[in-house]
């Protein structure tokens, strides 16, 4: 690659990194009076909004309702750093808001995320069906984090060494970096669907302006912490 080409590639990579950082800025710094909104997200008003606690608000977006109104699916937007212990009250508050807006709904499915566009950021999945609510947790409790980390470097029943990302509550910087890599990976996957994981990682790292090793670390943490539904479930009856 000649010097001129390297300069052009560098400028493009820097621009993309700054653009991605700008897009996540609103997600990481939500206004005190309301929930976080993804920059460039849907322009239409949310289906429902509400407050769980003084510093925890939510929105319901991307709602799809069946023709007879009996089934509803949507995305519940909350802060990325919502504690595991506050997921249940958030789900219950969301369900209450949805039922007020769609009283005919007998089945309600919600996916909790910090932003609609964040594919690798699911905090929980909740399903309400005629009085019963099942919450599948996508982020770990403090106890689960401790158990997870305690096994790093030990061996499993087959004698294989356990090598996994160390978990912790992500701060703004950790989440922001992970989100940039996640979005870059998704963009690379859409552009080159036939590429393998290593090729996608190289492309995402180049777009984010970081090394593939650092990009892999951020990717692995996001996958291990935000699993969608991998940290147990709880059933609630009305």
All structural domains of the chain with their residue ranges: 48-140+226-237, 143-224
| DSSP letter assigned to residue 155 | B
Give the chain's mean pLDDT.
85
Span 70-79, average pLDDT: 96
**Least confident stretch, 31-40, 59-68, 127-136, 139-148:** 31-40
φ/ψ of residue 33, rounded to 5: -85, -5
The 10 Å Cβ neighbour count of residue 168 is 13
Q: Is pLDDT larger for residue 124 or for residue 32? A: 124
Helix runs in the chain, H state only: 3-28, 87-101, 142-150, 172-191, 197-208, 212-225
**Average pLDDT for residues 28-33, to the nearest whole number?**
40
Q: What is the pLDDT of residues 104-125, one digit of tens each?
A: 999 999 999 998 878 788 999 9
Quickly count: other Cβ atoms within 10 Å of residue 180's Cβ.
24
What confidence tier does 19 reach under pLDDT thresholds 50, 70, 90?
low
Question: How far is it, in rounded angstroms, from Cα 79 to Cα 27?
Answer: 8
pTM of the model: 0.78
pLDDT mean over 158-168: 92
Give pLDDT, residue 1.
Answer: 54
Give the span between the Cα atoms of 203 and 194, in whole angstroms: 13
């Amino acid at each position: 690659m000649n010097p001129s080409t390297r300069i052009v590639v560098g400028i493009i990579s820097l621009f993309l990194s700054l653009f991605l950082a700008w897009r996540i800025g609103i997600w990481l710094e939500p206004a005190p009076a309301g929930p976080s909104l993804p920059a460039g997200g849907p322009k239409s008003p949310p289906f429902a909004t509400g407050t769980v606690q003084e510093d925890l608000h939510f929105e319901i977006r991307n709602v799809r309702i069946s023709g007879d109104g009996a089934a509803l699916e949507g995305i519940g937007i909350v802060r990325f750093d919502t504690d595991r212990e506050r997921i249940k009250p958030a789900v219950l508050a969301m369900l209450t808001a949805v039922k007020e807006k769609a009283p005919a709904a007998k089945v309600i499915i919600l996916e909790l995320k910090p932003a609609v566009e964040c594919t690798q950021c699911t905090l929980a999945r909740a399903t309400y069906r005629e009085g019963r609510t099942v919450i599948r947790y996508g982020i770990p409790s403090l106890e689960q984090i401790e158990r997870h980390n305690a096994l790093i470097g030990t061996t499993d029943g087959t004698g294989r060494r356990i090598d996994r990302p160390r978990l912790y509550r992500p701060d703004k910087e950790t989440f922001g970096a992970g989100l940039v890599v996640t979005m870059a990976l998704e963009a690379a996957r859409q552009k080159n669907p036939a590429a393998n994981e290593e090729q996608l990682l190289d492309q995402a790292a180049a777009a984010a302006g970081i090394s593939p090793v650092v990009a892999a670390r951020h990717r692995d943490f996001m996958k291990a912490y935000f699993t969608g539904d991998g940290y147990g479930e709880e059933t609630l009856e009305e």
